[in-house]
Structure formats: structure tokens, C-alpha cells
Structure 1
Amino acid sequence: MVELIWVGIIIVLFVFLMHKEIHHLTVSKFEIHSDKIPVEFDRAKVVLLTDLHNNTFGENNEDLLRRIRNEHPDYIMIAGDMLVGHKKADYYGTLNFLKVLSEEFTIYYVNGNHEQRLAEEKDTKDTIYKEYHDILEANGIHFVHNRTIKIKRKDAVINVTGLEIASDYYNKFNRPAMTNEYIETCIGKCNPKTYNILLAHNPMYFDYYVQWGADLVLSGHVHGGVMRLPFLGGVISPQYILFPRFDSGRFEEGSSTMLLSRGLGVHTLKIRIFNRPEMMVFTLNRDE
């Protein structure tokens, strides 16, 4: 009997900690430096959102909205999976949150694999996904699915490109090999003279994003590895890779940087251990 009581206490404690972990977000801040950043964009601030998965922070996501407003960003960039890719999931909370956000900020959005699933399946593409996409687009959100948008300040430009790779590249097993040629078929060649921000939901292919020419990659998908351990980092990726090379934080290769967010939500297995949801904020700095 005593053993059962202790088991019950442990289960209740675990559930409490999971709820606390899932609904208490952190804000991580980064400085990005490059001599390719035009002087007109010096000190421009961006909030990165990803992997909300219909999670909420306060009623109507007021806590998340407050955190964003407190940063006074110039732009918001979304690296996908704001929804759960299931036809029975309630996505109206996320839709309304993004509608409110779009009234105050300029937003650039690329699909993650969950939006992509809704866009591809025959019983959701012309219903759930179309409604979600069309309403947000009508509210001024810029979708960058395999296309580039030029952000202009006076006569200066930086490029924001969204990469949407085929669903097969998210497979847990038997994933096709990524190639530079495939990325170029999706988004064309990179202009090396312009500062290029690449929204790419899946960080697994960072090496290829670098070869394409991305100066800054913004990703999510991995949820920080679900559980984080001291010195070891994230434990497992959605592709069942143990201790994935790219789990969360900042990664550098040559002159390219990737910011990989732990994301804002969970789905299916609603577990986060030592791995609170994360909103990333970064500031662009012109290096002379």
C-alpha cells in the first residue's frame, strides 16, 4: 500500500512538472553580425516563432502576445508547425492568435511538416488548410513557401526565402538523400551579394542550406530533443535520432549561422523535460 501511495505521488508530481514545463516559456536572445547586412537594417529586431502546435500561453495566448510586444520587433518570422497536422485538432486558437499578431507586426511564414500534411491530404487541403492559409494571407501574413521575398528599407534589401521540402525528407526511416540540386529546384539559386535569411523548418539539412548560400537559417522541428540532459543536450529528434547533432540554439558553419528554436508546443507525446518552450529574439548588426 505504501508503495502504491509513493507511485501515485510520483505520477502526480510528474504531471504537474510536465504542465509547468509546457506552459512556461523562455525568451532567448541573440546578436547576428555580418558585413552583408545593409546599414539600413542595422539593429533590426526579429522574433522567431515555431512549433506552437496549437499550444496556448494564457487565455487567448495573451502571455505570448505580451512577450512579443515587449520586444518591439521589426519583423516576426515563423518557421512552421504552428498547427497540429490532424483534421480533428482545434486550430482556431492559433488562427486567432496569428490574426491579432498580424495587425501589429509584419510576418513571414513558411510551412512545417504539419501544415504541409494538411495542405497535401485530400480531406484537409481544401478545407482546414485553405481556410487557415487564406484567412492569414488576407490579414497580410507573407507566406514564403519555396519563394523569396525582398524586404526593403529605403534602397537596401535583404532576402527572406522559405524552403518547403518534400514530406519524404521528414521520414523516420528511408529518407531520400538531400542534394544541392534538389534545394535549387525548390528555391532557385542564391544571390550571394544580398544578405539571405532562409526559413527552413527541418534543421537536419543545415550543411546543404549553407552550401546553397544562406547567411542565416531559422529552424525548429526538433523540439529541443524533447528531454535535455546536462552536457549531452537534446535526447531524441522526431526522426528517432538519439542525441541529434542539431538540437537547439546557435550553430555556425563558415560565415553561416543557424538559430534552432526549441519551439513553443508539443504534439502526440506531450512531454518536455528540462526543456521549456522557447521564443527566440535576434538583432541584426551591420559589421564594417
Structure 2
Amino acid sequence: MQYIFAAVVIAALLVVYLWIENKNMVVTNYLLEQKKVPDNFHDMRFVCITDLHYNQYGKGNARLLKAIHESKPDVILIAGDLVVTAKPKKIEVAYHFLSELTKRYPVYYAPGNHELKWEHSIGCDKEFYQNFLEKLKKLGVCYLNNESLTLKKGSDTLIIRGLSLPLRFFVKGKQKVEISVDEIESLIGKTKEDAYEILLAHIPDYFESYALYGADFILSGHVHGGIMKLPFLGGVISPSYELFPKYDSGIFKKGRTVMFLSRGLGTHTIPVRVFNRPELLCVEIRKC
């Protein structure tokens, strides 16, 4: 009986811990210093959001919005999966969140695999997806589905590109599909040497190709930090069922390219996080 009681207590404590772990995000701040940062964009601050999946931090996402406001961003970047494909009826959660953001900030939103499935009428019909796009436009959200936007300050240029890979790149339990620089360019165009390039690319697996493509600053998500993090080993499993994925979370560098891989803010299919709290990123760029 003593052992049973101890087991019940431990199980209850574990449940409480997991609830706290899932419901209490952290804000991770990065300072990115690069020679290529244009003078007129020096000290620009970005709040970076991925994989919210309708998750809510307080009523109407009040705690999340408070954390964003306290970070004092110039721009909001969203690298996909604000929604859950199988739950289109919950879309009002995303709309409310976006409406609050667009009251104060420019919002640039690239799709993840969940939005991409809607585009292909998986989990919804074509009319729903078109209504989704129209609502984003009305809210003032700039939705970058293999599109780019150019920001100008004086003689300086900053380009934000939203990469949407075909569904075959989001494989589960199969050999990873490779992508070339030419394929990336065919989707979103070539980078410009005289511009600072930000790439919103939901899936991080192709970081080396993104770097060869010429992006300066990449925001990715998708992996949810590997669901559970183990000391020295990192994230345990990716959405494609890859054990101990190379890219789980954090900052990665190749040449002059830097990728920020967020642990994301929500869960869906595997609704737990272990030693892997939800994460809101804030990145400030500076010329060095």
C-alpha cells in the first residue's frame, strides 16, 4: 500500500509538472550582429512566433500578448502553424490573436504544414481557405505564401520572404526529400546581394540549403523542440518521427547565415512537453 501511495503521489506531481511546463512559456532574447545589417535597420527588433496551434496563454492570449508588448518589437514574424488543420472551427482563436497584433505592429506570416494542408483542401474546403486568406488581408496581416515583401528605409533594403514547401517535404517516417537552391529560387525568387534577407521557413531540416540560397536570418519551427529534451542529447523526436533530430531548437550558423529555431508555443498530436517549455523568441539585429 505504501508503494502504491508513493506511485500515485509521484504520478500526480508529474501531471502537475507537465501542466506547468505546457502552460508557461519563456521569452528567449537574441542579439544578432552581422556586417550585412543595413545602417537604417540597425537595432530593429522582431518578435518571432511559431507553432501556436490555437494554444492560449490566459483568456484571449492575454499573457502572450503582454509578453509581446513588453518585448517592444518593431515587427512580428510568424513562421507557420498558428492553426491546427483538423480544427478549422477554432480559427477564431487565431483571428483574435492576429487582430490584437495588427493593432500595434506589422505582421508577416508564412505558412507551415497545417496552413499548407488547408491550401490543398485537407481538413477544410476551398471556400474555407479562401475565407481564411481574405480575413487575414482584412486584419492587415501580410501572408507570405512563397511571396516576399520589401521594406525600404532611405537607401537601405530589407526583404522578408515566406517559403512554403510542397507537402512532400513534410514526410513522416520516410527518407527525407532533399531540396536544391534552384528549387528554392523557383518558389520564392533569388536573393539580392544589396538587400538584407530574412527567410521564414517553417521546416528547419533544409537549413544548409537555405544558407546556400543566401538568406541572412532564418526563422523556423515545426519540431516543437523535439517534444522532450534530454541532457546532452537534445530533442528526442521530430514530427517526421526522426529520433534526436539534428535541428531541434536554438541557434544554428553556416557561413554568414543564422537560423533561429523556436521550440514553438503550442502542441497538437503529442500534447506534452518535457523539459521543453514553450518559447517566444525576440531577435534584435545590429550592424557590426
Q: TM-score range with shorter-chain normalisation?
A: over 0.9
TM-score of the superposed pair, with normalisation by structure 2: 0.95
Give the match for residue 181 of structure 1: 182
Deviation for aligned residue 1:88: 5.4
Letter of the structure 1 residue corresponding to residue 149 of structure 2: I
When residues 49 and 123 of structure 1 are mapped into structure 2, their CA distance, relative to the original with a 3 A threshold, is closer
Identity %, equivalent residues: 37
Q: Does 1:192 align with 2:166?
A: no
When residues 233 and 174 of structure 1 are mapped into structure 2, their CA distance, relative to the original with a 3 A threshold, is closer
Give the match for residue 113 of structure 2: 113
Q: What does the per-residue CA deviation read over 1:18-50, in whole Å, with 9 as the maximum and x for residues that have no partner?
A: 211111000001111122211110001000000
Secondary structure of the structure 2 residue equivalent to 1:246: coil
Secondary structure of the structure 2 residue equivalent to 1:205: helix
Give the match for residue 155 of structure 1: 155
Contact 1:85 1:117 in 2 (8 A): yes
Give the match for residue 249 of structure 2: 248
Write the distance in 2 (CA, Å) between the matches of 1:53 and 1:45. 24
Write the distance in 2 (CA, Å) between the matches of 1:23 and 1:70. 19
When residues 42 and 229 of structure 1 are mapped into structure 2, their CA distance, relative to the original with a 3 A threshold, is same
Letter of the structure 2 residue corresponding to residue 191 of structure 1: K
Give the match for residue 212 of structure 1: 213
Write the distance in 1 (CA, Å) between the matches of 2:71 and 2:106. 14
Deviation for aligned residue 1:125: 4.1
Contact 1:79 1:220 in 2 (8 A): yes
Write the distance in 2 (CA, Å) between the matches of 1:258 and 1:125. 34
Deviation for aligned residue 1:140: 1.0
When residues 29 and 5 of structure 1 are mapped into structure 2, their CA distance, relative to the original with a 3 A threshold, is same
Deviation for aligned residue 1:241: 1.2
Deviation for aligned residue 1:12: 2.4
Write the distance in 2 (CA, Å) between the matches of 1:29 and 1:183. 29
Deviation for aligned residue 1:155: 3.1
**Unaligned 5+ residue runs, structure 1?**
none
Give the match for residue 56 of structure 1: 56
When residues 163 and 125 of structure 1 are mapped into structure 2, their CA distance, relative to the original with a 3 A threshold, is farther
Alignment of 1:39-188 (within 5 A): 39-87=39-87, 90-121=90-121, 124-172=124-172, 173-188=174-189
Secondary structure of the structure 2 residue equivalent to 1:86: coil
Letter of the structure 2 residue corresponding to residue 284 of structure 1: I
Contact 1:86 1:118 in 2 (8 A): no
Letter of the structure 2 residue corresponding to residue 17 of structure 1: Y
Deviation for aligned residue 1:181: 2.0
Alignment of 1:216-227 (within 5 A): 216-227=217-228
Write the distance in 1 (CA, Å) between the matches of 2:207 and 2:253. 10
Give the match for residue 37 of structure 1: 37
Contact 2:82 2:94 in 1 (8 A): yes
Give the match for residue 13 of structure 2: 13
Secondary structure of the structure 2 residue equivalent to 1:91: helix
Write the distance in 2 (CA, Å) between the matches of 1:154 and 1:110. 26
Write the distance in 2 (CA, Å) between the matches of 1:123 and 1:248. 28
Deviation for aligned residue 1:136: 1.7
Deviation for aligned residue 1:3: 4.3
Matched residue count: 287
**Unaligned 5+ residue runs, structure 2?**
none
Q: Does 1:258 align with 2:259?
A: yes
Q: What does the per-residue CA deviation read over 1:32-72, in whole Å, with 9 as the maximum and x for residues that have no partner?
A: 11222111100010000000011010111000000000111
Secondary structure of the structure 1 residue equivalent to 2:150: strand
Write the distance in 1 (CA, Å) between the matches of 2:263 and 2:249. 6
